[in-house]
Homo-oligomer: A and B are copies of this chain.
Amino acid sequence: MAPYTLTYFPAKGAAEIARLVLACAGVEYDDKRVTGQDWASTEKSKSPTGGAPFLTTDYGNFSQSLAIARYLANKHGLGGKSDEERLKADMVVETLKLDIAQKFMTAHFEKDEERKKTMGNEARDKAETLLGLLNSNCVSASGFFLDSGISWADLMLFNIFTDLLPLASASLGVTLTLDNYPRLKKVYDNVAEEPKVKKWIEIRPQSQF
């Protein structure tokens, strides 16, 4: 039996960072994708905080997407090789996910059209500043964020620019690429060329979100 079951919807969404970690680490797991109906009737109550995704382990069920991805990364060699590398990975992830991607998603779901436009522009301006800082200050000579090589922080950059931002950018009419951030572009390309990640992207179930 696989050591983990990851339960989520038939979507990339908040679960894909954990799937990328598991794929990159070459860890077997049950990639359980449930309908909204099954979620409500049987699965939701298994999530300790009621949210998706949740991870089933020999030690029980755990929810919250960043907590799950960090756990899997630390457990399987993608969390950093020292306390300070783990801190740096967390710093990069927090910036990418909460300060960049989350602002785009909040704007994406805004219903007031005028406000949505303003929020989209603000998210882009903020993202450009932060990407500039990550590019200048946070990429290692290894071609990844950490000196020791690929980690879940790199996978988060890949996840956000492959899966999350394109959708939000289209709905917001703003463009965000890595073209002006050559070191980050290199990180992205290095992740994309990682054989196990490449294979996962080829075989993963297709979904819009």
| Complex interface bits, A57-88 against B, C-beta within 8 A gives 1, otherwise 0 | 10110111011101100110000000110111
Interface residues of A in 84-126 (CB under 8 A from B): 84, 86-88, 90-91, 93-95, 98-99
Is there an interface contact between B137 and A64, defined as CB atoms closer than 8 Å? no
Does A26 belong to the interface (CB within 8 Å)?
Answer: no
Complex-state Cα separation, A49 to B96, whole angstroms: 10
Copies of chain A in the complex: 2
Which residues of A in the span 154-196 have a Cβ within 8 Å of any Cβ on B? none
Q: How big is the A interface, by class?
A: 35 or more
A149 within 8 A of B: no
Given A64-B95, A94-B66, A95-B64: A48 and B87 interface contact (C-beta under 8 Å): no
Instruction: Give every chain B residue within 8 A of A35 (Cβ-Cβ).
Output: none
Residues of B within 8 A of A142 (CB): none
**A90: min CB distance to chain B, Å:** 4
Q: List 8 A-B contacts (CB under 8 A).
A: A48-B133, A48-B137, A49-B91, A49-B137, A59-B84, A62-B91, A67-B93, A98-B98
